[in-house]
Amino acid sequence: MNIRNFSIIAHIDHGKSTLADRLLEVTSTVDKRHMKEQVLDSMELERERGITIKMTPVRMNYKSEDGKDYVLNLIDTPGHIDFSYEVSRSLRAVEGTLLLVDSTQGVQAQTLTTLEMARDSHLKIIPVITKIDSPLSCAEEVKEEIIKLIGCQKDEILSVSGKTGEGVKELIEEIIKRVPAPMAEFKNSTSSRSLIFDFEYSNHQGVILYVRCLDGKINKGDDLLFVQANHRFIIREIGTFSPEKRETKTLEAGEIGYIVTGIKEPGIARVGDTVTTFARPLPAFPGYSEPVPLVFAAIYPETQDEFDDLRSALSKLKLSDSSLTFEEESSGALGRGFRCGFLGMLHLEIVTERLRREFDQELVITSPSITYEVTLKGGEIEMVYTPIHFPDHGQYVSVREPWISLTIITPHTYVSNLMQLMHVHEGTVADMRDWGHDRVEMIIDMPLRELMRNLFDEVKSATSGYASISYKPGIMKKAEVTRLDIWIAEERVAAFSRVVPEYRAHEEGDQVVEKLEKVLPRELFRVKIQAYVKGRIVASRSIAPMKKDVTGYMYGGDITRKMKLREKQKRGKDRMQREGKVNISHDTFLDVMKS
Ligand SMILES: Nc1nc2c(ncn2[C@@H]2O[C@H](COP(=O)(O)OP(=O)(O)OP(=O)(O)O)[C@@H](O)[C@H]2O)c(=O)[nH]1
Ligand SMILES: [Mg+2]
């Protein structure tokens, strides 16, 4: 079998999934009736938002110009930085990658990050420019940028249009020529070995592994072993992606496909683990580095009865999103919940949305936070992941926080705007590089927490949308931060606590309190909203009570009944004032979190 495995990597929206559509069309993998735009983006959220969230493998058959039959395995990847763990995993399953650059946009920040990943994986990189049909296409200039970036010859850069299909056939011929055929390490081995690069969960079939077969052959009924997990299972079904699952008899070294394991318990299958013949195991293939969560938020069920459901939902979701991490935690006010780690704010949003839609979970989510390393008075060092657990003022001596290295690519005109913006976010410019054609790359060091203060949107508006951003984790540095607490009706709402820079504590307190005053519904009693920092009130407002005439629906003169009702209402009010239970709706929570 002649096999070529490759992925498509690019900055967000540069046209990966659209190019994949044309590849599927030219190879008659998806017939006209089933073709739609970005057909590989099959998740509801992907279609709604027009972005790719998960990588998708698909197998295509192709007869080359010289009459040979090929099997082409393509993996489409997401472009958003929050999903770059998907990209890195896809790269280990293939021998080559298309570095796609939108010819109307040129090289962007994520072009650089994904290229770095492809280089680290020692893949054959094929530079391709796309959207050449567009009147805004600057093909020649963009080619020069690519030459500067990867040091290739001009005629190595291929040109395509995902819209018209121009250049797509030539592209496939080049993929066949340039991407090396897969090579098994253990030739003629009677054992098999496959790398797990992804998986999913089905209630009916259990865990379904997405694998790249590295050595030997696998068949239905084979007795396999997860090397790391040291767990044995029998293959229930194997197959390939077309793009929907299609059962096959065998998978051979070099092929990409799926394995149905029937395993229902979470925690056994892990991406990066190797599955091999149980009786004659081959050594584990080097796995993946664990994803590094940058943003943390605690997720609590709406009522404690739903705690187990939430745990099961998270475990299942992790089976289709291996970058999600979670751990049980509890907070006095909110009860038992989970501390979850995300790769970024969009990742957080997608996970909570999926929990809601796919698992019917109503959630309480705490303010997203980063990790702080707190040195307590006694000298112990504690990693604090949620503001709820950030110690009180006076209990710690110092705090350190993670920084990031930010890459921004922008036209020259916006550099001064960006410098100002970076200053506001405590960023310092570490390096600048000229890309020619009026574009500059800026490398900026910045505290990670600033990224969550709407930085992406602010950069977009400071540059009229012309800049692109990417980032990677940096080192830990000393931080001057403190915990800001919100009290509503004399009760601390733990979920609203946040860790803020000391110099901004006042301002942030004001903002949250003001926001809450706007969004909280009126109650039957006066509701005080206060922000506390280091035991002092830094901001305070109150919402006037609503006058609800509980007797309104009664006519006539039964005065005693009216009196009774009023009495009851008064008692209720007293109780509410005392207990201060204000019902904060889910939407209000999200609204305040986002601000
Ligand atoms: N004119 C033109 N538009 C294109 C072409 N390819 C893609 N587009 C448009 O560009 C936008 C983004 O296309 P996608 O294919 O979703 O881009 P992507 O790289 O898969 O995006 P992510 O997966 O979210 O990173 C869509 O509006 C497409 O219609 C092309 O060749 N020409
Ligand atoms: Mg896409």
Average pLDDT, integer, range 545-566: 57
Average pLDDT, integer, range 555-574: 55
- Residue closest via CA to ligand 1's atom 9 equals 15
What is the spatial distance between Cα 213 and Cα 25, in angstroms, rounded to a whole number? 26
What is the spatial distance between Cα 189 and Cα 174, in angstroms, rounded to a whole number? 31
With a 6 Å cutoff on the Cβ, whether 512 touches ligand 1 is no
Say whether pLDDT at 577 is over 50.
no
Q: What is the dihedral of CA 194, 197, 203, 204, to 10 degrees?
A: -30
542 pLDDT band, cuts 50/70/90, is confident
Q: Which of 7, 18, 40, 52 to mutate to test the pocket of ligand 1 (most atoms within 8 A of CB)?
A: 18
- Burial (CB count within 10 angstroms: exposed 0-12, middle 13-18, buried 19+), residue 30: buried
Residue 293 vs residue 261, higher pLDDT:
261
Q: How far is CA 389 from CA 31, 333, 373, 377, in A?
A: 55, 12, 12, 16
Strand partners for 79: none
Taking the mean position of all CA atoms in its chain, how far away is CA 314?
15
Q: How far is CA 316 from CA 78, 190, 269, 322, 348, in A?
A: 21, 34, 12, 10, 16
Res 225: pLDDT: 96
What is the spatial distance between Cα 340 and Cα 178, in angstroms, rounded to a whole number? 42
Say whether pLDDT at 149 is over 70.
yes
| Pairing assessment for the beta strands 231-234 and 2-10 based on DSSP bridges | unpaired
What is the spatial distance between Cα 414 and Cα 418, in angstroms, rounded to a whole number? 6
Say whether pLDDT at 248 is over 70.
yes
ω into 501 cis (within 30 of 0): no
- Residue closest via CA to ligand 1's atom 8 equals 15
Average pLDDT, integer, range 427-435: 91
Say whether pLDDT at 317 is over 80.
yes
Average pLDDT, integer, range 486-491: 87
- What is the whole-number distance in angstroms between the Cα of residue 347 and the centre of ligand 1? 21
| Ligand nearest to the CA of residue 110, numbered in listed order | 1
With a 6 Å cutoff on the Cβ, whether 167 touches ligand 1 is no
Would you list the DSSP string of 87-135? HHHHHTT-SEEEEEEETTT-S-HHHHHHHHHHHHTT-EEEEEEE-TTST
Residue 587 vs residue 322, higher pLDDT:
322
Residue 385 vs residue 547, higher pLDDT:
385
With a 6 Å cutoff on the Cβ, whether 254 touches ligand 1 is no
Q: Which of 131, 135, 155 is nearest to 143 (CA)?
A: 155
Say whether pLDDT at 136 is over 70.
yes
Strand partners for 7: 75, 97
74 pLDDT band, cuts 50/70/90, is very high
With beta carbons less than 8 A apart as the criterion, state whether 75 and 55 touch.
yes
CB-based contacts of 157, cutoff 8 Å, min separation 6: 127, 128, 129, 143, 146, 147
With beta carbons less than 8 A apart as the criterion, state whether 79 and 179 touch.
no
The DSSP symbol for 347 reads H
Task: List the alpha helices (DSSP H) in 398-496.
Answer: 415-424, 448-451, 455-462
Strand partners for 476: 402
With a 6 Å cutoff on the Cβ, whether 16 touches ligand 1 is yes
In the chain, the percentage of residues whose pLDDT exceeds 90 is: 63
With a 6 Å cutoff on the Cβ, whether 440 touches ligand 1 is no
- Residue closest via CA to ligand 1's atom 32 equals 131
CB-based contacts of 38, cutoff 8 Å, min separation 6: 17, 18, 20, 21, 46, 47, 50, 52
Res 294: pLDDT: 86
Q: Report which listed range, 126-140, 262-276, 284-298, 456-470, is most confident.
A: 126-140
Say whether pLDDT at 324 is over 80.
yes
With a 6 Å cutoff on the Cβ, whether 162 touches ligand 1 is yes
Res 210: pLDDT: 96
- What is the whole-number distance in angstroms between the Cα of residue 46 and the centre of ligand 2? 9
The tally of CA atoms less than 13 A away on the side-chain side of residue 266 is 14
What is the spatial distance between Cα 384 and Cα 374, in angstroms, rounded to a whole number? 7
Res 594: pLDDT: 55
Q: Which of 420, 422, 460, 414 is nearest to 443 (CA)?
A: 422
H/E run at residue 169: helix 168-178
- Which residue do the tokens 């079939």 mark? 205
Say whether pLDDT at 579 is over 50.
no
Q: Which of 550, 488, 548, 497 is nearest to 517 (CA)?
A: 488
- What is the whole-number distance in angstroms between the Cα of residue 256 and the centre of ligand 2? 20
Question: Tens digits of per-residue pLDDT, 249-262?
Answer: 999 999 999 999 99
Average pLDDT, integer, range 571-593: 55
Res 445: pLDDT: 96
Question: Tens digits of per-residue pLDDT, 101-119?
Answer: 999 999 998 999 899 899 9
| Pairing assessment for the beta strands 396-411 and 363-365 based on DSSP bridges | unpaired
Q: Which of 8, 9, 12, 13 to mutate to test the pocket of ligand 1 (most atoms within 8 A of CB)?
A: 13
Res 574: pLDDT: 47
- What is the whole-number distance in angstroms between the Cα of residue 19 and the centre of ligand 1? 8
Strand partners for 432: 442
Neighbours of ion ligand 2 (CB under 5 A): 16-17, 52
| Ligand nearest to the CA of residue 166, numbered in listed order | 1
Instruction: Please tell me the pTM assigned to this model.
Output: 0.83
Span of 49-53, 551-555, 582-586 with lowest mean pLDDT: 551-555
Average pLDDT, integer, range 520-530: 82
The DSSP symbol for 282 reads P
- What is the whole-number distance in angstroms between the Cα of residue 56 and the centre of ligand 2? 10
- Residue closest via CA to ligand 1's atom 30 equals 131
For the CA of 14, the closest atom of ligand 1 is 19
- Listed as own residue / partner, the contacts of 541-547 with beta carbons closer than 8 Å and 24 or more positions apart are 541/513, 541/514, 541/516, 541/517, 542/517, 543/517, 546/522
Taking the mean position of all CA atoms in its chain, how far away is CA 394?
36
For the CA of 52, the closest atom of ligand 1 is 23
Span of 88-97, 177-186, 411-420, 575-584 with lowest mean pLDDT: 575-584
Q: Which of 568, 575, 564 is nearest to 523 (CA)?
A: 575
Res 564: pLDDT: 60
With beta carbons less than 8 A apart as the criterion, state whether 471 and 441 touch.
no
- The two three-digit tokens of residue 177, written as one number: 């020529």
- What is the whole-number distance in angstroms between the Cα of residue 53 and the centre of ligand 1? 14
Res 423: pLDDT: 94
- Which residue do the tokens 């008064």 mark? 570
Average pLDDT, integer, range 137-155: 94
Res 593: pLDDT: 59
With beta carbons less than 8 A apart as the criterion, state whether 101 and 41 touch.
no
H/E run at residue 81: none
With beta carbons less than 8 A apart as the criterion, state whether 576 and 524 touch.
yes
369 pLDDT band, cuts 50/70/90, is confident
Q: How many CB atoms are located within 10 Å of the residue 594 CB?
A: 12
Mean pLDDT of the chain: 88
What is the spatial distance between Cα 295 and Cα 349, in angstroms, rounded to a whole number? 11
- What is the whole-number distance in angstroms between the Cα of residue 105 and the centre of ligand 1? 12
